[in-house]
């Protein structure tokens, strides 16, 4: 027994000529609102709102942003504009490489006296380098 699998399910059907039902509603709603503005406002006051409503209706009907209908972009903009925003700052920690380093044999030079740093002095130097303290005196050699 064979079944037919529906294809192109994301494509809306054209109902009103070349327009889908949703596109027809956007255009009809925009035209109706433009007519109401034209009737109830003087023409010199109605021109700019009529142009805005007509532009929005045409954008909702035909404009696609990044391959998606303009209504989704408008929805995302309104959600972002209305929602609360919390900005946090935190120092990022750098991840170290997890590769196994090659074995290195420690070779100490003979006949040269190298100064040894105690652990506390080493931590102090490390701290001064981390915070870039310029007022700190130079390390005595």
> What was the pLDDT predicted at 137?
47
> What was the pLDDT predicted at 13?
78
The dihedral formed by the CA atoms of 37, 38, 42 and 43, expressed in degrees to the nearest 10: 120
> What was the pLDDT predicted at 78?
95
> What was the pLDDT predicted at 133?
45
Rounded to 5 degrees, φ, ψ at 19 are: -110, 145
> What was the pLDDT predicted at 119?
66
Report the alpha-carbon angle 19-23-25, nearest 5: 120
Rounded to an integer, what distance in angstroms lies between the CA atom of residue 93 and that of residue 127? 16
E-only strand ranges, the chain: 14-16, 19-20, 64-65, 68-69
Tokens at residue 112, please? Answer: 């040269």
Rounded to an integer, what distance in angstroms lies between the CA atom of residue 54 and that of residue 32? 10
> What was the pLDDT predicted at 99?
65
pTM of the entire predicted model? 0.54
> What was the pLDDT predicted at 92?
73
> What was the pLDDT predicted at 95?
66
**DSSP secondary structure string, 62-81?**
H-EETTEEHHHHHHHHHHHH
pLDDT along the chain (141 residues), means of 10: 82 83 94 96 94 96 91 94 86 68 68 62 73 50 47
């Amino acid at each position: 027994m064979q079944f037919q699998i529906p294809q192109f399910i994301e494509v809306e059907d054209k109902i009103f000529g070349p327009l889908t039902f949703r596109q027809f509603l956007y255009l009809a709603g925009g035209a109706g609102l433009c007519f109401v503005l034209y009737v109830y406002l003087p023409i010199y006051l109605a021109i700019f709102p009529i142009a805005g409503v007509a532009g929005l209706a045409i954008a909702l009907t035909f404009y696609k942003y990044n391959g998606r209908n303009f209504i989704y972009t408008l929805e995302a903009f309104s959600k972002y504009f209305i929602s609360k925003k919390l900005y946090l700052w935190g120092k990022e920690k750098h991840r170290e490489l997890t590769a196994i380093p090659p074995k290195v044999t420690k070779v100490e030079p003979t006949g040269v006296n190298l100064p040894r740093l105690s652990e506390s002095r080493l931590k102090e130097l490390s701290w001064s380098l981390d915070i870039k303290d310029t007022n700190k005196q130079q390390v005595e050699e």
